[in-house]
Structure 1
């Protein structure tokens, strides 16, 4: 009884109630990447076609140009040895065996041995231009894709925005959710178009750099070839 009396006289202070923050149970919706992309509209389909075309051209051109522009430093040395020895047929076989654009150009130079130097130099230049033309084959498609893909994406976005505002004018329901949802879906086509365009644009200039590098090396080897031919005349 005495203990109860003391408790009533000195009540134990109650612990302060802490209001814990209420965490909203928001369900995170897992978005499929392919489904998200397909929400971009009809223009996504031609953009995808341009993307696969770009990938094919990039792989095919890279393998071809890499093979044709493989620089063999021993080619001009072996060619010099055979020409100084008077073995023109052996020199032509060495060029054919290289199986590169350098060998094809020098092969035409070997075939013109005995003609004036101006004609030999012209033959080398024409052969180099032909090889560079073969390397530049299909690169025009990359330039077309780089220009068309962003435009297609922009058209898809504009058409989607027109549909959104047309729906608003009919239903008279201006909702931030409807507008933002429709916009993000339609802007997917613009994003895809820009990505494909950038890839095609970068690949186009990268391959042109490879071809320019070949042209510079070919000029050096062509000059060495002319010097080899002129050496016997200086003795």
Structure 2
């Protein structure tokens, strides 16, 4: 309980800028949670991309088609739809278009994190300068209150520390999702190039698997 009271006291001493920095930190947390849920839904996973690549490269098209049917995420969905196109050119165009749309959606809101990385330290510096101006006011200097001046400078530095903490948190979240996005792009490029080379075999196997699935569903009914 004492730590909470001390933290609130330090927060209030940081000045009005602390409330803006608090909103920035809450914004970073909200973006991190929202992006984590979005990536979890859209990302097929590195294991899927690796298994699919190995199966297709080895000529195990039935296993590759089974991976596509049982897989989740945008990569599996794009490849599944691409192999049903009439020719290689249509499949390549479809994969390029749909991957661009998916990646654009994954990049959403990451720009705000980069803005906060730059903005938060500046806000902290603004709060510190404002606090130091108050500490070195003419009234304190004239009355010779050295303790009040040094104490005011210490309190003013709280805003800078808060700004740096917010910037570090935003940078960490941004770096994590940027690296994850790069991995997804790499998986897409490798998988798409392989699909273009083996699209005829994948289409034939995919049609057979789909017909077998429909037959099983009809027999169950």
Same-fold status (TM-score > 0.5):
yes
Matches within 5 A, 1:153-172: 153-166=124-137, 168-169=138-139, 172=142
CA shift, 1:31, in A, is: 6.9
Question: Equivalents in 2 of 1:176, 1:96: separation in Å?
Answer: 74
Give ranges in structure 2 of 5+ residues lacking alignment.
203-221
Question: Equivalents in 2 of 1:55, 1:31: separation in Å?
Answer: 23
Normalization by structure 1: what TM-score?
0.72
Which structure has the highest helix share of the two?
2
Q: Which runs of 4+ in 1 moved over 4 A?
A: 73-79, 93-97
Matches within 5 A, 1:1-235: 32-69=6-43, 70-71=45-46, 72=48, 73=50, 77=55, 80-81=61-62, 95=68, 98-111=71-84, 113-115=85-87, 117-166=88-137, 168-169=138-139, 172-231=142-201
> Which structure has the higher relative contact order (CA within 8 Å, separation 6+)?
2
Aligned-CA RMSD value: 2.9
Q: Is the 8 A contact 2:41 2:73 kept in 1?
A: yes
Size of the alignment, in residue pairs?
A: 193
CA shift, 1:41, in A, is: 0.5
Normalization by structure 2: what TM-score?
0.76
Closer/same/farther in 2, CA of residues 108 and 174 from structure 1, 3 Å limit: farther
Q: Is the 8 A contact 1:109 1:123 kept in 2?
A: yes
Q: Which has the larger radius of gyration?
A: 1
Q: Is the 8 A contact 1:75 1:98 kept in 2?
A: no
Question: Equivalents in 1 of 2:95, 2:162: separation in Å?
Answer: 44
Question: Equivalents in 2 of 1:35, 1:177: separation in Å?
Answer: 19
CA shift, 1:82, in A, is: 8.3
CA shift, 1:197, in A, is: 0.7
SS in 1 for 2:108: coil
Question: Equivalents in 2 of 1:99, 1:52: separation in Å?
Answer: 31
Question: Equivalents in 2 of 1:229, 1:151: separation in Å?
Answer: 53
